[in-house]
Structure 1
Amino acid sequence: MNVYMDNAATTAVKKEVLDEMIPFFTEKYGNASSIYRLGRESKKALDQSRNKIANILGADPKELYFTSGGSEADNWAIKGVALANRNKGNHIITTKIEHHAVLHACEYLEKNGFEVTYLDVDEDGLINLDELKGAITDQTILITIMYANNEIGTIQPINEIGEIAKENNIYFHTDAVQAIGNIEIDVKDLNVDLLSISAHKFHGPKGVGALYIRKGVKIHPYIHGGAQEKNRRAGTENVASIVGMAKAIELAYENLEEHNNHVMRLRDKLIKDVMDKISHVRLNGHSQKRLPGNVNFSFEFIEGEALLLSLDMVGIAGSSGSACTSGSLDPSHVLLAIGLPHGIAHGSLRLSLSDFNTEEEVDYVVENLITIVDRLRQMSPLYENVKEEK
């Protein structure tokens, strides 16, 4: 059996999405900036897609800008706002558990005269709102805090953060890449000024995303060149993928309740079975305020890499954290931030579910996890010491 449980890394493109995209590769392939018929067809599809996505997010279509994905959207939001507003201040607030697209963008700005406060989180991955308020200075121009964590699934109190930012006249950006397709989102209700999304997290194509920029936000362009995206993001539009993203988000929100009920049932079964049948295991992330399809375990006395390779040998695809850092041997910065020691953080496993997963697959994963964890622990001298003490 082949089981894919790494949907936080990427998702399969749904057939309906691909069907919508294909004509824009083969028949309606015009450049959306061209004035002849083929170009006008692409421009019309572009406008329809923008309207569809904006409507789902509660935004004005003029506030939505297409990007190459979540990382570009995050970088544009953070660097664009910082550089455009440095005459007002040079201070940014974020957290220690952000995606590296945010953390590395902030580190870049630190090297260029900006100051960044990295907020701590508690053992569940939640920020303290009082600490956020206390970090604000008269130089603070941007707060950037992710909606839901890509590793442990914890959902932050975005509405409250947005209110704090609004009260202090500070721009607020949220990386909502993991939240879109899992949580109802209305940008007006959330009090966000900028919001990043990426299509491949909700069964759309890779290499396309969007940045919501509230009307009136002062921000520099990120890519210079042509006049596309209202002179704010140059480059020939990826029409086929944008059409696919619009279809994918439409499908996600048409079936949101059904999707969430399905994946939460599987998630809760997976958590219960693993916690009941395997000792020395910790569930990472908030037990309630978490993404419906996210599970993150830490297994003591084993290495996450050995666990992943062993799972792969029996056809199970999982992750030890963010796909963007899977080549790193360092433990997850998220798990360290919630207080796990290096030894336990190294033994982490993230399993993330989608519409396509089944109860049979959950049983298969649990059955193999029991065997693999036991085998790997038999090779650990630390585990031998624990057994002897007992």
Structure 2
Amino acid sequence: MIYLDHNAATPIAPEVREEMLRVLEIYGNPSSLHEEGQKARSLLDESRAKVAAFIGAFPDEIIFTSGGTEANNIAVHSFAGSSAAVSAIEHSSVLKPFEYLAAKGVRVHHLPADSGGIVSAGNIPAGVSLVSVMLANNDTGVIQPVRKATEAAHAAGALFHTDAVQAAGKIRINVRELGADILTLSAHKMYAPKGIGALFVRRGLKASPLMQGGSQEKAVRPGTESTVLAAAFAKACETAEKRMEKDEAEIARLRDMLESLITAKVTDCRINGLGSPRVSGTSNITFSGLKGDSLIINLDLAGLCVSGGSACSSADFRPSHVLTAMGLSDGDARASVRFSLGRGTTEEEIVRAAETVADTVSSMRGKTW
């Protein structure tokens, strides 16, 4: 089996697994005042500081959540106000909360993307309270001009939120340099377990809870914190910090090889976002005339794991809203497949994957190249 779906979930890194086993012995509740509780509190504080350092934030600006979806929902519900702007290519965990608020009367403006997948955020409508533009797109890997978008948002008097889930660990992130007020992270895209994420909220801002309960996580995310998951997330950040440049250079080389091999072997295919800045491991390719879901199933039967885009939308049979926002027809959007590479991907796997794609496409089209 060749796994090229790292944008959906990454395997747990050995360093992270070892850290999880080590901290399993720290079993106290971090809200308890006794010795065991304070051991857990110390571990949680250390983990928060490491996640904060990874993005250039202060520890008290980090709120641990169950993942990117919860963090995005907290961000949108807390700061959208009566009018907000969001890019047309956001993850569903950003778009859906905005849709919910729009149904409640909030004015939501959608910022378009060009054919290269770049969001145009130069003209922010007057009166908006929040602008949300992701840092790297989950379908295409296209990196957005977030610094420019932040400046435009602030010039319009709005706060700025960026979903950095697919960027973290792939490109350097510094919230001060980006100028972001709110930023979202998720551990399972960074070789850590599922079930934990983080929301950066700049000092001076106050997020609102989605749930009612205790005072954990600055009373924004009530419930007993998972010290094990927090420590795993922190270790993943530490590991990424040390090896990011080397990893991403190799992954980019393999991604380029995959694209070259596939486009050489398969006619009527197109790389979406080619020419735009992209994170290293993502390649979205349209195979004209095919149904993407059928191609994905056939590739899986041939031993290759890929996807049609966000795993969170896999049950939604509509074409990718990201690709249609870039101008693709519904048919071409449905004929697109996302390949996402990771640390463990090898050159041998890339060669085999390209051959598998070529053979499978040929079989489905009933042609021979």
Letter paired with 1:193: D
CA contact (8 A) 1:92 1:142 kept: yes
CA contact (8 A) 1:166 1:191 kept: no
What is the alpha-carbon distance in structure 2 between the residues aligned to residue 126 and residue 280 of structure 1? 24
Counterpart of 2:289 in structure 1 is 301
What is the alpha-carbon distance in structure 1 between the residues aligned to residue 116 and residue 171 of structure 2? 19
TM-score (norm 1): 0.92
Counterpart of 1:351 in structure 2 is 339
Residue by residue over 1:139-161, the C-alpha shift from the partner in whole angstroms, topping out at 9 and shown as x without a partner, is: 21000111110001111101111
Which of 41, 44, 47 lines up with 1:46 in the alignment? 44
Counterpart of 1:326 in structure 2 is 314
What is the alpha-carbon distance in structure 2 between the residues aligned to residue 13 and residue 125 of structure 1? 30
Which of 324, 331, 343 lines up with 1:336 in the alignment? 324
State whether structure 2 residue 136 is matched by structure 1 residue 148.
Answer: yes
State whether structure 2 residue 95 is matched by structure 1 residue 107.
Answer: no
Counterpart of 1:128 in structure 2 is 120
Letter paired with 1:67: T
Residue 270 of structure 1 deviates from its aligned partner by 0.6
CA contact (8 A) 2:304 2:356 kept: no
Residue by residue over 1:57-83, the C-alpha shift from the partner in whole angstroms, topping out at 9 and shown as x without a partner, is: 11111111100000000000010113x
**4+ residue stretches of structure 1 with deviation over 4 A?**
none
- Aligned alpha-carbon RMSD (Å): 1.5
Which of 206, 227, 232 lines up with 2:194 in the alignment? 206
What is the alpha-carbon distance in structure 2 between the residues aligned to residue 276 and residue 315 of structure 1? 21
For residue 255 of structure 1, give the secondary structure of its aligned residue in structure 2.
helix
Letter paired with 1:59: A
CA contact (8 A) 1:125 1:286 kept: no
For residue 47 of structure 2, give the secondary structure of its aligned residue in structure 1.
helix
State whether structure 2 residue 7 is matched by structure 1 residue 8.
Answer: yes
What is the alpha-carbon distance in structure 2 between the residues aligned to residue 361 and residue 315 of structure 1? 11
- The 5 A counterparts of 1:147-296 are 147-296=135-284
Residue 127 of structure 1 deviates from its aligned partner by 1.6
Letter paired with 1:110: A
Structure 1 segments unaligned to the other structure (5+ residues): none
Letter paired with 1:296: N
Letter paired with 1:147: L
- Larger radius of gyration between Structure 1 and Structure 2: 1
Letter paired with 1:127: V
Counterpart of 1:21 in structure 2 is 20
For residue 173 of structure 1, give the secondary structure of its aligned residue in structure 2.
strand
What is the alpha-carbon distance in structure 2 between the residues aligned to residue 352 and residue 95 of structure 1? 22
TM-score (norm 2): 0.97
Residue 169 of structure 1 deviates from its aligned partner by 2.3
What is the alpha-carbon distance in structure 2 between the residues aligned to residue 290 and residue 260 of structure 1? 11
Letter paired with 1:58: G
What is the alpha-carbon distance in structure 1 between the residues aligned to residue 103 and residue 15 of structure 2? 45
Residue 164 of structure 1 deviates from its aligned partner by 1.4
For residue 129 of structure 2, give the secondary structure of its aligned residue in structure 1.
strand
For residue 166 of structure 2, give the secondary structure of its aligned residue in structure 1.
coil
CA contact (8 A) 1:172 1:194 kept: yes
Residue by residue over 1:128-183, the C-alpha shift from the partner in whole angstroms, topping out at 9 and shown as x without a partner, is: 243xx2x421x210001111100011111011111112223210000000000001
What is the alpha-carbon distance in structure 2 between the residues aligned to residue 168 and residue 329 of structure 1? 37
For residue 298 of structure 1, give the secondary structure of its aligned residue in structure 2.
strand
Could you say if the C-alpha distance between residues 288 and 97 of structure 1 is closer, same or farther in structure 2, counting changes exceeding 3 Å?
Answer: closer
Number of corresponding residues: 369
CA contact (8 A) 2:292 2:335 kept: yes
Letter paired with 1:19: E
CA contact (8 A) 1:177 1:201 kept: yes
Residue by residue over 1:250-282, the C-alpha shift from the partner in whole angstroms, topping out at 9 and shown as x without a partner, is: 101110110111100000101111112210001
Letter paired with 1:24: V
- The 5 A counterparts of 1:310-321 are 310-321=298-309
Higher alpha-carbon deviation: 33-42 or 205-214: 33-42
What is the alpha-carbon distance in structure 2 between the residues aligned to residue 264 and residue 116 of structure 1? 36
Residue 36 of structure 1 deviates from its aligned partner by 1.5
What is the alpha-carbon distance in structure 2 between the residues aligned to residue 271 and residue 339 of structure 1? 21
Counterpart of 1:91 in structure 2 is 83
